[in-house]
Amino acid sequence: MILMKVVSYLPIALYAESLHLHAALASVITSTFTLPPPLTGCIKDFGEIWRLKSSNIISGPDRFIVASLRHGSIFPLANKHLLDLAMITGRESHIEDSPEIWRPVVLHLSFLTPARRSGGHARFRMMYAVAVSIAIAVLLLTSSISFLYGFYISGILLLCLLLNLILLSLLQWFTGPIFSRQSEIAKDTTIGATGGAAVDVHVVTENFNASEMHVLIGFSAHLHSLTNIPIRIRSWRTVLWVSRLIGVVLAVQAAALASQFGADGKQVVGSGVWLIAYTVLLISSRLVTSRCPDALLRHQPTTADQLDHIGFSSRRAALAFIATLPVSQKAGRWDWMNGFVPADERRKHWEIEMAQGGLGEDRVPEDDTSISASSRGILEEVRKARSSPEFVEASTKFNAAIGLTKRSPSLEQVAPEQVVPEVVITDSVYSEARRQESGVPSHPKLL
């Protein structure tokens, strides 16, 4: 009897948890390669589901901000839910505490490259179809057996899981996201960086004082379509009414679970069976998603090469490292940093020291007494981070993918009058100034 009472209370944490419908809708609307996750929710969530807004599904909270190195601008992050599900943002890491490091900062780097076609996921498409078919068959079978042997609560709960799975699967086939700037992205993919496609770096952070930052590197139009311009949803009325049906199913599921709290009859078995089925579906869904996270961007195929976190001893060291990434500079080279560090005389002096120390040139700094010890330490820290095998390999692959090579034949064959003046790819803060002073055209360096 005591065991039965314990079983009746097992799902209570899931019953009371936050509504996860927004994340589930975002994953199924944006990709056909994800297994729809199981859903839970209280009856009180029904009103929120009935008044669902498209901005709540993909956009997420407004507290995150983005700094664009190319434009020197700062704007709120759009599409947070989608970027988290695709594991482009939202990654976390443990920051080690050390008395020698007074302000540790962690960077999560993602090199984003638009894929030329979306048909390269046949294996994952097959994996998805098999997983959904198996899940539907198992839920239908176990639900039927429960009703047959008189476990009606168990049958109802399993039927709720089955209906939610079917409804979410229907959304995958009849709806989809609408990304902006598709023509520009297609053009940039064709001509590459040496043909004039602008390259940008977006720094995503919760606030200017945060200890973790997500750094996205890619074509400017591509990054803005993900971080700056809200993604619309095709066939929104279909999504709205299917979501309301899901809300009805969740209300029935919550009532059935609540009816078992403290009970000790045989119907209590339904709570345990539901919990097992929920756990299996949740693990299966996350396993399929983790195998191909960037497939969530099926309508804008994207390859994301993500590095393990890079730790820095101070915020200025992390910002200096970001400044060495390849950018088609349009605004001032340090304008993007105004929110992080005030543009005062102290920062101007620091910028001069970074330039004197050859920030981004990956050379061992000389014992220059005109540069402060703290700036020399930053330069050495940035050099070590840029020379790590993981960063060198990822940046080399990225440069090759966007056409940014050390000596590109296509760039050398372009006539001087055909070069777009404002598109300057650089991985050094003052490379453009040096090029203008010498009068000799220089090619972008291979990171």
Q: pLDDT by residue (tens digit) across 189-211?
A: 888 888 889 999 999 999 998 88
Please, what is the average pLDDT of the chain?
Answer: 78
Examine the pLDDT at 440 and tell me if it is beyond 60: no
Q: For 64-86, what is each residue's pLDDT tens digit? A: 999 999 999 999 998 888 888 77
Q: Rounded to an integer, what distance in angstroms lies between the CA atom of residue 379 and that of residue 364?
A: 9
Instruction: Spell out a b/e string for 309-318, using b for 16 or more CB atoms within 10 Å of the CB, else e.
Output: bbbbbbbbbb
Q: Which region among 4-18, 184-198, 270-284, 382-396 has the lowest average model confidence (pLDDT)?
A: 4-18
Per-residue pLDDT at 19: 61
Comparing CA positions, the residue from 235, 264, 213, 225 lying closest to residue 108 is 213
Q: For 230-258, what is each residue's pLDDT tens digit? A: 888 888 999 999 999 998 888 888 888 77
Comparing CA positions, the residue from 383, 379, 263, 246 lying closest to residue 316 is 379
Residue carrying the six token digits 């079978």:
141
Per-residue pLDDT at 426: 43
Comparing CA positions, the residue from 245, 56, 57, 251 lying closest to residue 167 is 245
Helices 236-258 and 21-30 cross at an angle (nearest 10°) of 140
User: Which helix or strand (DSSP H or E) is residue 233 part of?
Assistant: strand 232-234
Please tell me which of 29-33, 62-66, 166-170 the model is most confident about, judged by mean pLDDT: 166-170
Q: How far is CA 172 from the centre of its chain?
A: 20
Q: Between 266 and 206, name the one with better pLDDT.
A: 206
pLDDT bucket at 424, cuts 50 / 70 / 90: very low
Q: How far is CA 433 from the centre of its chain?
A: 35
Q: Rounded to an integer, what distance in angstroms lies between the CA atom of residue 424 and that of residue 431?
A: 9
Per-residue pLDDT at 348: 92
Three-point CA angle 425, 423, 72, nearest 5°: 85
Domains of the chain, residue spans: 2-60+119-180+231-296, 68-80+88-118+192-219+302-438
97 close to 284: Cβ distance less than 8 angstroms: no
407: left (phi over 0), alpha (psi -120 to 50) or beta: beta
Per-residue pLDDT at 68: 95
pLDDT bucket at 1, cuts 50 / 70 / 90: low
Comparing CA positions, the residue from 182, 36, 184 lying closest to residue 118 is 182
Q: Quickly list H helices, 175-229.
A: 182-191, 220-227
Per-residue pLDDT at 76: 92
Report the chain's C-alpha Rg in angstroms: 26
Between the alpha carbon of residue 310 and those of residues 10, 64, 102, 385, the distances in Å are 40, 20, 16, 7
Per-residue pLDDT at 385: 92
Examine the pLDDT at 422 and tell me if it is beyond 50: no
**Mean pLDDT throughout 35-56?**
78
User: Residue 199 forms beta bridges with which residues?
Assistant: 219
Helices 152-174 and 269-291 cross at an angle (nearest 10°) of 20
Q: Are strands 105-114 and 212-219 parallel, antiparallel or unpaired?
A: parallel
334 close to 323: Cβ distance less than 8 angstroms: yes
403 close to 410: Cβ distance less than 8 angstroms: yes
95 close to 104: Cβ distance less than 8 angstroms: yes
424 close to 329: Cβ distance less than 8 angstroms: yes
Examine the pLDDT at 8 and tell me if it is beyond 60: no
Residue carrying the six token digits 């209300």:
251
Per-residue pLDDT at 439: 43
Comparing CA positions, the residue from 231, 257, 253, 431 lying closest to residue 327 is 431
Q: Rounded to an integer, what distance in angstroms lies between the CA atom of residue 268 and that of residue 263?
A: 6
Q: Are strands 327-328 and 212-219 parallel, antiparallel or unpaired?
A: unpaired
Q: Between 422 and 287, name the one with better pLDDT.
A: 287
Per-residue pLDDT at 300: 62
Q: Rounded to an integer, what distance in angstroms lies between the CA atom of residue 419 and that of residue 422?
A: 9
- Residues present in the chain in total: 447
Q: Rounded to an integer, what distance in angstroms lies between the CA atom of residue 428 and that of residue 426?
A: 6
Q: Rounded to an integer, what distance in angstroms lies between the CA atom of residue 320 and that of residue 365?
A: 15
Report the half-sphere exposure of 195 (CA within 13 A, side-chain side).
10
Please tell me which of 260-274, 377-391, 408-422 the model is most confident about, judged by mean pLDDT: 377-391
Residue carrying the six token digits 């090759």:
400
Q: For 326-360, what is each residue's pLDDT tens digit? A: 998 888 889 999 999 998 999 999 999 998 888 88
Between the alpha carbon of residue 176 and those of residues 52, 85, 162, 310, the distances in Å are 17, 15, 22, 35
Per-residue pLDDT at 266: 67
pLDDT bucket at 31, cuts 50 / 70 / 90: confident
Q: Rounded to an integer, what distance in angstroms lies between the CA atom of residue 435 and that of residue 424?
A: 11
